[in-house]
A and B are shown apart, each in its own frame.
Chain A
Amino acid sequence: MHHEDLTPSVIQGLAWYYLLAALANALAAAYLAYGTMVMEGNSRVGLAPKTRRMPSWLPIACGVLWLGVAILLTIQAVAPGPLVSAAYFLGALANMVLAIQAGADAAQFGEVEARGHALDPDYEAPPRPPSLDDHIPPVGLGKPLNRTMWTLIWGVVAVVFQAMGLSYQLGGRVAMPGFIKDAIDAVSGPTSFFVGATLAFAAMIRYRRFLSSGVVAWSIVNLTLLFFGLSLTDYDFRDIVVKPDNVPIVGMIVLVGVFTWHGLRRAVINDARMARGLPNLEELEPEKVLTWPDLVYTELIAMVVGTLVLVVWAIALQAPLEQPASSTTAPNPSKAPWYFLGLQEMLVYFDPWMAGVVLPTLIILGLMAMPYIDTNKLGNGYYTYEQRRFAYITFQYGFLVLWVILILLGTFLRGPNWNFFGPYEYWDPHKLIPLNNVNLSDLFWIDLLGTSRPTNPLVREAPGILLTAGYFVVLIPLMARLFFRKYIEQAGWGRYLVLSLLLLFMLSLPIKMVLRWTINLKYLVFLPEIFFNI
């Protein structure tokens, strides 16, 4: 089925989308050019002077232009007219002025710094300690940042985004090329998606120092903005992403990403500081302040902001209401509420009694058990990775990959009949996926031994039962010997038993996935007589 990819309202929406993306980059450029660069730790060790000043006309000019945008849009809302376009051009002008002026000033600063104030070609800057004018990153984040260069880069990105926005505003019809969409659809699948997420997680941990730098993070943000903007030109992508109930999930992904990055960054900084014998960031301000006004006012502001966000959200987006309930016509796909879609995705690999009852129960019990099995006394009350690697990796893998990523998969990429669909694929209810999954008993008796399956169900399923029992019986003592000796000495066997059981259950999901993808395994143990299928 084909739908219009680029309708007039979509084009209009994309123009504003890139206007905001350009604004974000213009602000980033201005921040680098003029900002005081107060980064964690710098302010507290006296490395945050203000040496570059923003010309005072610049914020006034941009403020006036944006005020114009707001006024025009308000008039537009009351009395519709062609004012949206005028508002758009004002906003675009503000972005351009900010980005270009910030870049020009940064270049000017850079030149003055390199040559000195005397316009003397033979002038050589005297050797100096790390200049306070450079952005000196917090301990652990590598070399100083070249502010001039990065101001120019973000300024250019802002101009490019704004140019894209203007082209849409003037009726341009840039869309993501079909061959890219086809290629992405072709390589997406549950396997590549999950394996890719796991690899990305490993890379995040491995290259955490690189990732913690603000420039890298902002580059990723820009690439995501571009990719998301181009994806919005596709009808099928848009159809799923902007469903009212799916909008919060998009918000959640953004928030989880921001906080994951922030937590990682704080951990990297703290680890580097502690390695050098410096106090960690949380120890820098041990003094106490009065709750009134410091905390009470923060809470008040947070409540006001929260109210504003909710009211705007409620006005902008109507709560979904579909046809009246009918117990005879089931929608396809039928989906649980979004926060349970990770569990629904597990139904692909496990029967309901595991995916819907046992594993959720173990998630809850495991979370509750966490403070009692994590006997590591370090890392209490401050961000750190080095001091609690095992806990950090286990929890984050569970939360980010096994929970959030599975929700993402279940929400956006599972269509009719719970079939997998690429992000730009039409949700065809007649898509046929060959189901050729086999049970372990078939593989063992028929393929391996070349006989027929025994009639006694217990004998028939003996290989699977032994394998499942062996998974626990063999691996628990084996892991104890190989990896957890010190832990058991410190925490005792009781805690180890709980920990290892939880770990093995957690790992059972990826294991079951891999078995499905490699040998099409459906059940390890298949005893439908008593509803006991694993």
Chain B
Amino acid sequence: MSLIEKVSETQIWKSIFRHPMPTDRRNRVVVMLTNFFLHLHPVSVRKQGIALSYTWCMGGTTFFLFMVEVITGVLLMFYYRPTLEHAYNDILALRDVTTLGILRELHRWGAHAMVIAVWLHMYRVFLTGSYKPPREFNWVVGVLLLVLTLLLSFTGYLLPWDQLAIWAITVGSNMARATPLAGVEGPGSALLKINGVSLITSGSDAKFALLGGRSVGEMTLNRFYVLHCVALPLAVALLIMIHFWRVRKDGGISGPM
């Protein structure tokens, strides 16, 4: 009896994994049903469905990168304070002083890679017609995840508080000023008046709501930080759960019907 076999016979092992090593057919089936992380998967899959030449592995890569972002992101939150006083210097310290400063590189390049991986995943899903019934709704969930991924990346772009950051966000958020009806320079916003008093001003329009001020400032940093670290990741996590659950319910990885 090998060491691994001995270990897998112990009470501790059994209490955690609820089954021996998946070396025979029965246990390979059981492991998929009894392990919390593995039970995302079905017990068996179509061989062509998991071929790399078919799926490109981009959906899984996206999820992997999301996990990388969560882990490195949480660690970065230990080092970073989202205030005008500290933000830039904390990033500078990550670059020059902090031992694990490479976390920032991992986080930033992982974020770029995640945006690209989401696009490529959608591209593959389109090319194989996998958005067609019965997977229509899961495609919609996927589009929402695309939007959230872009928003996550966009809100994170501001946090280093350097020239690159604030001017990219300034350019991006200037668009909100032109939102029809809700932006101060948007078509139709001048029509929204009560007794001659405009409802939409530069202090109450869509851009102000986004930035928490008339221009990118400390309130923006705070707002983007909360969105980036709390609100958007929670929304993404929820939608990912729905996305994965629907993959299973809609018949698993797509293939010829």
Interface residues of A (CB under 8 A from B): 40, 245, 248, 251-252, 255-256, 259-260, 262-263, 266-267, 280-296, 298-299, 302-303, 306-307, 310-311, 313-315, 317-327, 329-331, 334-337, 339-340, 343-344, 351-353, 355-358, 364, 367-368, 370-372, 374, 376-384, 388, 392, 395, 399, 530-532
Contact = CB atoms under 8 A, between A and B. Distances in A.
Contacts of B215: 327
Interface residues of B, number: 100
Contacts of B179: 353, 357
Interface of B: 22, 25, 28-29, 31-32, 38, 41-48, 50-54, 56-57, 60-61, 64-65, 68, 88, 91-92, 95, 102, 104-106, 108-110, 112-113, 115-116, 119-120, 122-124, 126-133, 135-136, 139-140, 143, 146-147, 150, 153-154, 157, 160-168, 170-172, 174-180, 183, 185-191, 215-217, 254-257
Contacts of B43: 290-291
Contact of A310 (B44, B53, B68, B217): B68
Contact of B143 (A327, A367, A379): A367
B106 A311 contact: yes
A323 B102 CA distance: 20
A288 B163 CA distance: 54
The 9 A-B residue pairs whose C-beta atoms are closest, nearest first, are A356-B175, A314-B105, A371-B136, A352-B178, A248-B112, A353-B178, A379-B129, A532-B187, A325-B166
12 contacts: A248-B113, A252-B116, A288-B45, A310-B68, A318-B95, A319-B108, A322-B163, A357-B183, A358-B180, A368-B143, A371-B139, A382-B128
A407 B61 CA distance: 23
B45 A371 contact: no
A382 B161 contact: no
Identify whether the interface residues of B are mostly helix, strand, loop, or mixed: helix
A531 B120 contact: no
Nearest to B50: A295
A364 B180 contact: no
A352 B171 CA distance: 11
A381 B254 contact: yes
A52 B215 CA distance: 68
Given A306-B64, A314-B102, A296 B47 contact: no
A380 B61 contact: no
A255 B116 contact: yes
Given A399-B123, A399-B126, 9 more contacts: A248-B116, A292-B28, A295-B50, A318-B105, A325-B88, A331-B164, A337-B168, A353-B185, A532-B187
Given A339-B150, A383-B128, A296 B41 contact: yes
Nearest to B54: A282
A319 B109 contact: yes
Given A325-B162, A325-B165, A380 B257 contact: yes
Identify whether the interface residues of A are mostly helix, strand, loop, or mixed: helix
Contact of B48 (A286, A368, A371): A286
Contacts of A334: 167-168, 170-171
B28 A314 contact: no
A376 B133 CA distance: 10
Contacts of A356: 174-176, 178
A380 B136 CA distance: 12
Contacts of B110: 310
B46 A357 contact: no
A251 B146 CA distance: 19
Nearest to B215: A327
A314 B65 CA distance: 14
Given A259-B124, A290-B28, A371 B135 contact: yes
Contacts of A248: 109, 112-113, 116
A329 to B, nearest CB: 8
A319 B52 CA distance: 31
Contacts of B88: 324-325
